[in-house]
Amino acid sequence: MKRIGKFFVWIIGIILALEVVGIIVAALSKRISPHTVLTVRIEGEIPEQAPRNPFAELVAGRETTLTDIVEGLERARTDPRITGVEMHVTESGMSMAKLQDLRGRIQELNRAGKFSVAYLEFATNRSYYLASACQTVLLLPSSDLYVRGMMASSTFFRGALDKLGVYPDLYHIGDYKNATNVYTEKKYTQAHREATQSLVEDWYHEFLRGVAEGRGMRPEEAEAAIQRGPFTSQEALAARLVDKLAYADEARDIVERKNHGGHNRLSLREYLRRTEREGRSKLAIIYATGMILPGRSGNDPLGGSVIGSDTIAEQFRRARDDSSIRAVVLRVDSPGGVSFSSEAIRREVEMTKRSKPVVASMSDVAASGGYWISMSADKIVAEPGTLTGSIGVVTGKFNLHGLYEKLGLSKDFVATTENSTLEWPYQNFTPAQRQSVEKTMRDVYENFLRGVAEGRHMDVKAVDKIGQGRVWTGERARKLGLVDELGGLHAAIARARELAKIPGSEKVGLVYLPPPKSFFDAVFELLGDARAARPAAALSQWLGQVESLARQPVWALLPDVPEVE
């Protein structure tokens, strides 16, 4: 027995020793040396949140998100061990608001006394706009700075639909509600052109202002320079748009000289791992990214992201039930969706703010349904370049009868009432059906107006005047009362802390919702998809998806977001 007792004592001792060693190793692995440079790569798509797909993460590694970069730059701002940031900027799919969010973090880091260096092998308007926030901009010799004025374009599908035999039986409320125009028209209407021109001019103004500020120029100097673009590397240097021409090895030497000869570098991913923040209090960040539809979040048949009202409602309930979560930030990047799904999410916002603050943080787009889900928040924060508003309604269906005839397919039906065929995508609305549809649209629009008026403490008539489906930039939306303040995700987090009365000195943990799928959830989902994809069912499944898209119910949906170059 004594031997057995000694054996267990030895085992316990070994376990304790291993735990101590583990703690020491973990602590050492999280050490950051003084005079360290944070390195950040901007390339490809920068999503709001990591895709909820563990298979993709297993194969390609975890994607860097906008939240990662914002959080990393913010931690570096107050970290005495980080002396500066080195940014390798290539082309990405980020639009104006995301770029402004990152520019804001770089500028705050500059003001904190840290250095910032951007290295460009090649640049267009987007990449240069971001890089110009850095104190030093380096460009590869014998390259191009392809900056110039801006243009916006929209693709119109009416001609293609006519050839396919598809008729767009679509309607809208709001003179500027132009989502349907790309299907019903072949070019801009006057109102559509006016709204698009206003947006691109606002973005161009923001671009020029940012470049002038970053490069220490007067606005008129920056504009005169940009109007001469594009530039060769030498021309860009002569125009003072970059500071030096350098190859990658020379850029590295420049960074080390700014770092007083220090060689220590730390990638963004590793820096975030070593500086994980824990706190007694937490803030939840609920991501609403994509088209708003009923059900669960996921992807639509065309591969885009879907905000499922059931999923988002579940996250709000989770945040309400967790007493450690002191406030919620609703991060919105959505052009809209189904009105009743938007209302279901808005209701969760309203219920949550009865017990804890809710701040809406608008990314690139928060329009139509994207604005609907935000309008009841305690505060709304947007970047100057955020597309917001579009308070209006569109609805309708695509009549596929001609397409089916071309494919040699036919359909027949029996019905009990005239309105039984209301959503049937093989005929246009009858006059009585159109009257019913327009009545429903007016009801939805009036509910939208009342919701904005109540949430923003405005008069309904005043909301109607700035509504009409008009898309505004965040800067204009703030002046109109649709947005409270300008700023990015970190500004929204700061406002949520303030509303929750969390002292500035207190560490706060961030809880990201919805959480990523587990590996086993993804496996089961994949198996389910495999069962559904038998060859015999494939064509029927595809046609069903097309039909579903063709007869969507009332939308508070999708402003036409122009492509900007």
Write the pLDDT tens digit of every residue in 465-511.
999 999 999 999 999 999 999 999 999 999 999 999 999 888 899 99
Mean pLDDT of 254-265: 93
Q: Is residue 251 part of a domain?
A: yes
Q: Is residue 14 part of a domain?
A: no
Q: What is the mean pLDDT of the chain?
A: 87
- Amino acid 488 reads G
Residues 296 and 436 in one domain: yes
Residues 235 and 298 in one domain: no
Domain with 44 in it: 36-148+229-274
Higher pLDDT, 533 or 229: 229
- Is the pLDDT at 396 greater than 70, yes or no? yes
Residues 268 and 337 in one domain: no
Q: Is residue 134 part of a domain?
A: yes
Q: What is the pLDDT of residue 325?
A: 96
- Is the pLDDT at 20 greater than 50, yes or no? no
Confidence of residue 559 (pLDDT cuts 50, 70, 90): low
Residues 296 and 431 in one domain: yes
- Amino acid 440 reads T
Confidence of residue 276 (pLDDT cuts 50, 70, 90): confident
Residues 396 and 517 in one domain: yes
Q: Is residue 84 part of a domain?
A: yes
Q: What is the pLDDT of residue 473?
A: 96
Q: How far is CA 493 from CA 74, 379, 385, 444, 481, in A?
A: 12, 11, 19, 32, 21
Residues 239 and 341 in one domain: no
Buried b (16+ CB within 10 A) or exposed e, 453-474: bebbebeeeebbebbbbbbbbb
The domain boundary, picked from 274, 305, 338, lies at: 274
Q: What is the pLDDT of residue 5?
A: 55
Residues 363 and 443 in one domain: yes
Q: What is the pLDDT of residue 464?
A: 96
Q: Is residue 369 part of a domain?
A: yes
Q: Is residue 339 part of a domain?
A: yes
Residues 357 and 239 in one domain: no
Q: What is the pLDDT of residue 287?
A: 96
The domain boundary, picked from 237, 256, 274, lies at: 274
Buried b (16+ CB within 10 A) or exposed e, 342-373: bbbbbebbbebbeebbbbbbbbbbbbbbbbbb
CA distance 560 to 179: 5
Residues 111 and 249 in one domain: yes
Q: Are 364 and 559 in contact (CB under 8 A)?
A: no
**Burial of 327 (C-beta count, 10 Å sphere; 0-12/13-18/19+):** buried
Residues 295 and 268 in one domain: no
Strand partners, 282: 325, 509
Does a cis peptide bond (omega within 30 degrees of 0) precede residue 230? yes
Q: What is the pLDDT of residue 279?
A: 74
Residue 113 backbone zone (phi > 0: left; psi -120 to 50: alpha; other: beta)? left
- Is the pLDDT at 532 greater than 70, yes or no? no
Joined together, the tokens standing for residue 225 give: 């320079």
Q: Are 404 and 411 in contact (CB under 8 A)?
A: yes
Which domain CATH number covers 393? Answer: 3.90.226.10
Buried b (16+ CB within 10 A) or exposed e, 185-220: beebeebbeebbebbbebbbbbbbebbbebbebeee
The domain boundary, picked from 218, 251, 274, lies at: 274
Nearest Cα neighbor of 312 from 354, 340, 272, 341 is 341
Q: Is residue 19 part of a domain?
A: no
Digit-coded pLDDT (tens) for 155-184: 999 999 999 999 999 999 988 988 889 999
Q: How many domains does the chain have?
A: 2
- Amino acid 449 reads L
Residues 144 and 77 in one domain: yes
Q: How far is CA 465 from CA 74, 336, 343, in A?
A: 39, 20, 22
- Supply φ then ψ for residue 338, to 5 degrees: -70, 135
Q: Is residue 66 part of a domain?
A: yes
The 3-state DSSP class for residue 114 equals: coil
Q: Rounded to two decimals, what is the model's pTM?
A: 0.85
Digit-coded pLDDT (tens) for 29-81: 578 999 999 999 999 888 888 765 555 555 545 688 999 999 999 999 999 99
Residues 415 and 509 in one domain: yes
Q: Are 106 and 134 in contact (CB under 8 A)?
A: yes
